[in-house]
Structure 1
Amino acid sequence: MTASAADLTAIAVAVQREWKDAFETRNLPRLSGLYADETAFYGSTATLYTDPAGVRTYFNVLPPSYVRADYDTPHVVALGTDALAATGEVTFYTSGPDGLTALPYRMTHVLVRSAGRWKIATHHASPMPVRSGH
């Protein structure tokens, strides 16, 4: 049975909510546990991480000034019965002496279902370019 677009979006949003909660509480075991055993993870650095331990390393060295992440509802594409791509925008917030600074990013997650659980197989984040008139 094929899931509806609404069902796929709900799956992606649920994973993003779990990611947000683990990120904001700096729960690194929970955060890295959201990733598939074999993953492709590009965050805001040049290093490609390929497993949950690498993902944990990335977040372990991420400055603690990163305190919040707010996702917009993603555009979701079905890639089969056990895989989907969710692409959209997330705004990260850093805390500093002048308060919070918003850092808008584009985010793509490819989610795969394994043993009944949706995990992130691919994570790609890139800074949002300045929007032009076209």
Structure 2
Amino acid sequence: MERNKNTHCKWCSAYGCSNSKNKRPELSFLRFPSNSDRCKKWVVNTRRADLLSTPVEVLKLPIRLASKLSKRHIELPNFAKLKVSLAVQVLSHTVAAGISTMVSFKALPPDATATAQFVEKFDQLFNCFNSRRFN
């Protein structure tokens, strides 16, 4: 039986697993199932407590929001020196759009929209600093 390509993804969602299609091309990675009960079981079995409140509609999407961000972008040690390149990646239009998308799917609370607007303003500020002329 031939599988639908839409059921496959390129990374493992299990807690602590860093396997991906790039690292391990011989492995298959599946998306979360569309069935609500089955999807909840998968979330529990993958030990992803952070996904427990995420709607099934979001989990089964064929996209990965902010896919280039990692823990090192978000969880900085106290008094760590923040690199500009790290800040530019986190405070970007892509992250703002991801937050807004998650709010629209009710995966984040409505007040997260303010965070998205804040991030978008910083992205615009970075763009101003990088421009060579005034418009």
> What TM-score results when the alignment is normalised by the length of structure 2?
0.27
> What TM-score results when the alignment is normalised by the length of structure 1?
0.27
Name the structure with the higher helix share.
2
Larger radius of gyration: 2
Name the structure with the higher strand share.
1
- Bigger relative contact order, structure 1 or 2 (CA pairs below 8 A, ≥6 apart): 1
